[in-house]
Amino acid sequence: MTTLTLSSIAALFENHGTAYYGGEAISQTAHALQCALLAEQAGDPEPLIVAALLHDIGHLMLAESLTTDMRHQETGADALASLFGEDVTEPVRMHVAAKRYLCAVDPAYFDTLSPVSVHSLSLQGGPYDGEQASVFAAQAHADAAVRLRRYDDLAKVVDLQTPTLSHYLDMAARCVRVA
């Protein structure tokens, strides 16, 4: 398992963050910063803001290794576990499942998804059925994952001004788990 440090996270954004975010018209870094900004503006606690920033770190890690898979959420959450507790890692791990959940419980949600997100939903297994949605909702970090998912869906605005990566990495430093 790959482990991360704050400096290696910064390097991942520097090396791969300029790539376009999954077919959208913004970069990976712009998407991450917008997610974090939305969480910050909503008054979420710092661990969820950090999770919003880092929810797609698995994509950057996979770009680094030249590996492709559809499990970026697991890759990222597992690597982040060396630094952060579950209040950061589990919303990251669950943000794909949260999309599947929202499609199951909110009929209007699907219509808000971008074409790229609709395509990835089909690759991720499609909307949950009722039982899967209930299992998801019962998990400890489900509410945080749903909040993160909604930020993820909104964070695709071209040229939106956001705080810098260092602003959020300073916040991440405050969330690092004490050994």
Produce one character per residue of 118-134: b if its CB has 16 or more CB atoms within 10 Å, e if not: eebbeebeebbeeeebe
pLDDT, position 85: 96
Distance CA 98, CA 56 (A): 14
Q: What is the pLDDT of residues 5-60, one digit of tens each?
A: 999 999 999 998 888 766 678 899 999 999 999 999 999 999 999 999 999 998 88
Note the pTM of the prediction, 2 decimals: 0.92
Q: Which of 84, 85, 61, 64 is nearest to 72 (CA)?
A: 61
Spatial separation of the C-alpha atoms in residues 45 and 70, rounded to whole Å: 28
pLDDT tier for residue 161 given thresholds of 50, 70 and 90: very high
Confidence of residue 68 (pLDDT cuts 50, 70, 90): low
Rounded Cα distance, 120 and 114, in Å: 10
Residue 61, pLDDT score: 86
- Determine contact, residues 52/74, Cβ cutoff 8 Å: no
Q: 51 in helix, strand or coil? A: helix
Q: Quick one: pLDDT band at residue 123, thresholds 50, 70, 90?
A: confident
CA nearest neighbour of 22 among 48, 56, 71: 56
**Domains of the chain as residue ranges with CATH:** 6-175 (1.10.3210.10)
Q: How many CA atoms lie within 13 A of 132 on its CB side?
A: 14
CB neighbours of 23 closer than 8 A, spacing ≥ 6?
116, 119
Task: Name the residue with tokens 């209930």.
Answer: 134
User: What would the pLDDT profile of 73-116 be if each residue is shown by its tens digit?
Assistant: 888 899 999 999 999 999 999 999 999 999 999 989 999 988 88
CA 17 to CA 68: how far, in whole Å? 16
Separation between Cα atoms, residue 2 and residue 159, nearest integer Å? 32
**pLDDT score recorded for residue 59:** 86
